[in-house]
Amino acid sequence: MKAITLWQPWASLVGWGYKTIETRTHNRFASLEGQQIAIHAGKKFDKDWKEQVCECVDHALFLRIISSLKFCGIEAGSIVCVARVKEARRLTIEDNSRALCDCEGKYGLVLEYIRPVTFPAKGKQGIWNVDFRIESDKRINRERRNR
- Please write the tens of the pLDDT for every residue from 115-132: 999 888 888 899 999 987
Q: On the CB side of 43, how many CA atoms lie within 13 Å of its CA?
A: 6
- Please write the tens of the pLDDT for every residue from 24-69: 999 999 999 999 999 999 988 888 988 988 888 888 888 888 777 7
* Nearest alpha carbon to residue 19 among 79, 71, 81, 76: 81
Asked whether residue 147 carries a pLDDT value surpassing 70, the answer given is no
pLDDT at residue 73 in the model: 61
Domain extent listing, the chain: 2-145
pLDDT at residue 22 in the model: 97
pLDDT at residue 134 in the model: 64
Asked whether residue 6 carries a pLDDT value surpassing 90, the answer given is yes
pLDDT at residue 74 in the model: 65
CATH number given to 2-145: 2.30.130.30
**pTM, rounded to two decimals:** 0.84
Q: What is the DSSP secondary-structure string of 83-125?
A: EEEEEEEE--GGGHHHHTS--TT-EEEEEEEEEEEEEE----S
Average pLDDT in the 138-143 region?
A: 43
pLDDT at residue 144 in the model: 40
Distances 48 to 1, 51, 53, 54, 146 between C-alpha atoms, Å: 30, 6, 9, 10, 49
The answer to whether the bond into 116 is cis (omega within 30° of 0) is no
Query: pLDDT class for 137, splitting at 50, 70, 90?
Result: very low
